[in-house]
Amino acid sequence: MNRQSNLYTIIYSVVLVAIVGVVLSVVYQALRPRQVENMENDTKRQILAAALITPTAGESVADLYAEHISESYIVNSAGRRVDTDVDPFTVNVSEQVKKPFDERLLPVFLCKTDAGEKYIVPVYGAGLWGPIWGYIALDKNGNTIYGAYFAHQGETPGLGAEIEKPSFRDQFEGKDIFAADGQFQSVLVVKNGQEPSEGAWVHAVSGGTITSQGVQKMLKNSLEPYTAFFNEISKGKEAQQ
């Protein structure tokens, strides 16, 4: 075949593309298990971070997760466990938050810490430039926040991206998500000088107004469906006293 002909060029290109495609497919399949493991470990790291647990040098995130997360399950908006084969770890929270409360699958992770057992739940919302998400750890009273972890996809460095910094998320520790009368109140994120006289609140990120508002909306939308579950936890605690 004439190597200078158009037909040769076309055949050569098709064969080359096919070979490259096969090689890339083989490489992808070979690396896929490691990619999945890395993504799972990152999620485990985030869950543990909400409970103020971070791996030290030489510690495996997977081992640390297995050590501290004693149980995980799914509840519904009525506060009851859902009998399902769905793994709480794999629930797509970004899809669940779009549904009505009574249709959501609500993951719960029970975590053992030096300060006792904590209930960890995921939160998901929207920032200025993309999604924001995280995890909230509550004390066994089902009310007081023990720790928080937040992350983002593309918020502005030095502004909205500050939600992932300890200076912002540490403010949530010790805040109650229920008012004194037992009504769900969540946590407000307010500007300096606009602090309310009542309720739980934290200071917003300076210069990150929209992202801060996104965190406030995210917490309310993500935590409110758990109200019945948190109330059941509180009742159980009172019954033990």
- Higher pLDDT among residues 99 and 6, named by residue: 99
3-state secondary structure 146-208: EEEEEEECCCCCCCHHHHHCHHHHHHHCCCECECCCCCECCCEEECCCCCCCCCCEEECCCCC
More confidently predicted of 25 and 120? 120
How is the chain split into domains, by residue range?
Answer: 50-240
Q: Three-state DSSP class for 57? A: coil
> What distance in Å separates the CA atoms of residue 148 and residue 137, rounded to the nearest whole number?
6
Q: What is the largest CA-CA distance in the chain?
A: 91
Strands (E), the chain: 69-75, 106-113, 116-126, 131-138, 145-152, 188-190, 201-203
- Whether the predicted pLDDT of 241 surpasses 50: no
Flag whether pLDDT at 238 surpasses 50.
no
Q: Which residues contact 153 (CB under 8 A, 6 or more apart)?
A: 127, 129, 130, 131, 132
First-last CA distance in the chain:
90
pTM of the prediction? 0.85
Only one residue has tokens 């430039």, namely 129
pLDDT score of 57 more than 90: no
| Mean of per-residue pLDDT scores for the chain | 91
CB 123 within 8 A of CB 136: yes
Determine whether 198 is exposed, middle or buried from the number of CB atoms within 10 Å of its CB (0-12, 13-18, 19+). Answer: exposed
Residue among 128, 150, 120 nearest 233 (CA): 120
The pLDDT tens digits for 152-184 are 999 999 999 999 999 999 999 999 999 999 999
Say if residue 239's pLDDT is above 70.
no
Residue 61 CB coordination number (10 Å): 20
Specify the pLDDT at position 220: 98
What is the residue whose two structure tokens read 């109200």?
Answer: 227
Residue 28 pLDDT grade (very low, low, confident, very high; cuts 50, 70, 90): low
Q: Is the pLDDT of residue 26 over 90?
A: no
Tell me, what's the pLDDT at 236?
62
pLDDT-derived band of residue 31, with 50, 70 and 90 as boundaries? low
How far is the C-alpha of 11 from the C-alpha of 1, rounded, in Å?
Answer: 11
Chain centroid, CA 63 distance in Å: 20
Mean pLDDT of 52-61: 91
